[in-house]
């Protein structure tokens, strides 16, 4: 009812305000104008004398419900707790992890540094592609394939010489954005962090520093590792995923004969952001123990991503 009265009032005032400019000289129209004035005044008086009751007050502007904050892509609390609990059962081990999903990342013991063992082979291939002006020769492509898919050390020695050893690796790593990796002539003893390994994979898995063709080669080879060397990062895969990885393992005199074991890679799943993972560990008694531990850590990460 109030809205109807408001409409009548407004219509009357509009009509009255128009009438004087058109027809005050003619008596019938003057009478009509005065009638409009009376209607407007009457309706206004009614509304003034009958203000809306509290129950009829104008509704407050509606407030849209606020969207819930998006759930984190990595459950950092759960993952930290599970890694702490697992490694507490293996006090002889040291472990560091970085997980990167979209714009989020998770670090576990980021202060630790490890010798690379064979995970550096992706860095060596990326450096070769970055530094060499000409396309790879047939021999270089064959050695690159053996180095990544079979983890062939002889091929690695040849290609490490082709890039100029630590000088070439350091130059390329600067372009790749690495800040925690120190190269030496023993490529297996290059010092690195889990964070730097994820930075490397981010840099060489998409065109930018490297060309599309160069990235395509690295992506192809890291997805073609022989099955017996696929462990660790692959625990994050689901049906439809593509697993690209490079693992590294070796025993070390400076660890009293104990083993290093690392798994670095990415998981691509349709409709989901790419997941990058670096698992670096040391202190294992043998290769089988190392494989079991790194794969177990991969499963813990999978449960939190």
**pLDDT at res. 2:** 53
Confidence of residue 37 (pLDDT cuts 50, 70, 90): very low
Of residues 280 and 16, the one with the higher pLDDT is 280
Is residue 252 within 8 A of residue 290, CB to CB? The reply is no
Confidence of residue 259 (pLDDT cuts 50, 70, 90): very high
Is the pLDDT score of 66 beyond 60?
no
Is the pLDDT score of 44 beyond 90?
no
- Domain spans of the chain? 2-49, 76-304
**What is the DSSP code string of 284-300?**
ESSHHHHHHHHHHHHHH
* Cα 127 to Cα 208: distance, rounded to the nearest angstrom: 14
* Cα 210 to Cα 231: distance, rounded to the nearest angstrom: 27
Specify the 3-state DSSP secondary structure of 2: helix
Of residues 44 and 217, the one with the higher pLDDT is 217
Is residue 81 within 8 A of residue 52, CB to CB? The reply is no
Is residue 229 within 8 A of residue 152, CB to CB? The reply is no
Is the pLDDT score of 36 beyond 80?
no
Q: Which range, of 3-12, 70-79, 102-111, 186-195, averages the lowest pLDDT?
A: 3-12
Q: Residue 219: CB partners within 8 Å, gap ≥ 6?
A: 205, 244
- Reduce the secondary structure of 119-184 to three states and give it as a string: HHHHHHHHHHHHHCCCCCCHHHHHHHHHHHHHCCHHHHHHHHHHCCCHHHHHHHHHHHCCCCCECC
Identify the sign of the CA torsion 210, 212, 215, 221. negative
Output the CATH code of domain 76-304: 3.40.710.10
Q: Are strands 104-108 and 114-115 parallel, antiparallel or unpaired?
A: unpaired
Specify the 3-state DSSP secondary structure of 97: strand
Confidence of residue 43 (pLDDT cuts 50, 70, 90): very low
* Cα 165 to Cα 276: distance, rounded to the nearest angstrom: 27
Confidence of residue 73 (pLDDT cuts 50, 70, 90): confident
Of residues 138 and 6, the one with the higher pLDDT is 138
pTM: 0.77
Q: Are strands 191-192 and 242-251 parallel, antiparallel or unpaired?
A: unpaired
Q: To the nearest whole number, what is the mean pLDDT of the chain?
A: 86
Is the pLDDT score of 23 beyond 80?
no
Is the pLDDT score of 256 beyond 90?
yes
**pLDDT at res. 41:** 47
**pLDDT at res. 25:** 40
**pLDDT at res. 24:** 39
Q: What is the dihedral of CA 166, 188, 144, 133, to 10 degrees?
A: -10
Residue range 32-45: average pLDDT?
48
Residue range 207-219: average pLDDT?
98
Of residues 8 and 162, the one with the higher pLDDT is 162
245 DSSP β-pair partners: 265
**pLDDT at res. 277:** 98
Burial 22-31 (b: 16+ CB within 10 A, else e): eeeeeeeeee
Residue range 89-113: average pLDDT?
96
Q: What are phi and psi of 281, to 5 degrees?
A: -140, 160
Confidence of residue 74 (pLDDT cuts 50, 70, 90): confident
Is residue 141 within 8 A of residue 162, CB to CB? The reply is no
């Amino acid at each position: 009812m109030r809205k109807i009265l408001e409409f009548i009032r407004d219509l009357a005032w509009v009509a009255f305000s128009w009438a004087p400019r058109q027809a005050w000289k003619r008596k019938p129209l003057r009478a009509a104008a005065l009638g409009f004035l009376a209607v407007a005044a009457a309706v206004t008086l009614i509304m003034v004398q009958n203000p809306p009751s509290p129950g009829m007050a104008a509704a407050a502007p509606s407030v849209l419900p606020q969207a819930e904050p998006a759930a984190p892509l990595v459950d950092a609390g759960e993952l930290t707790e599970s890694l702490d609990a697992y490694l507490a059962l293996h006090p002889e081990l040291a472990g560091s992890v970085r997980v990167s999903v979209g714009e989020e990342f998770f670090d576990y013991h980021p202060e630790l540094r490890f010798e690379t063992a064979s995970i550096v082979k992706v860095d060596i291939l990326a450096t070769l592609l970055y530094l060499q002006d000409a396309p790879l020769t047939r021999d270089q492509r064959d050695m690159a394939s053996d180095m990544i898919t079979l983890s062939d050390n002889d091929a690695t020695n040849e290609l490490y010489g082709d890039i100029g050893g630590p000088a070439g690796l350091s130059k390329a790593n600067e372009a790749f954005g690495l800040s925690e990796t120190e190269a030496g002539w023993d490529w297996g003893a290059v010092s690195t962090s889990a964070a730097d390994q994820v930075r490397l994979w981010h840099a060489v898995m998409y065109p930018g520093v490297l060309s599309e063709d160069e990235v395509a080669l690295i992506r192809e080879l890291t997805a073609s590792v022989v099955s017996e060397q696929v462990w660790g990062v692959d625990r994050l895969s689901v049906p439809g995923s593509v697993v690209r990885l490079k693992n590294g393992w070796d025993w070390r005199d400076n660890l009293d004969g104990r083993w290093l074991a690392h798994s670095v890679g990415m998981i691509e799943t349709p409709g989901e952001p790419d997941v990058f993972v670096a698992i670096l560990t040391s202190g294992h008694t043998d290769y089988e123990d190392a494989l079991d531990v790194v794969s177990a850590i991969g499963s813990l990460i999978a449960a939190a991503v």
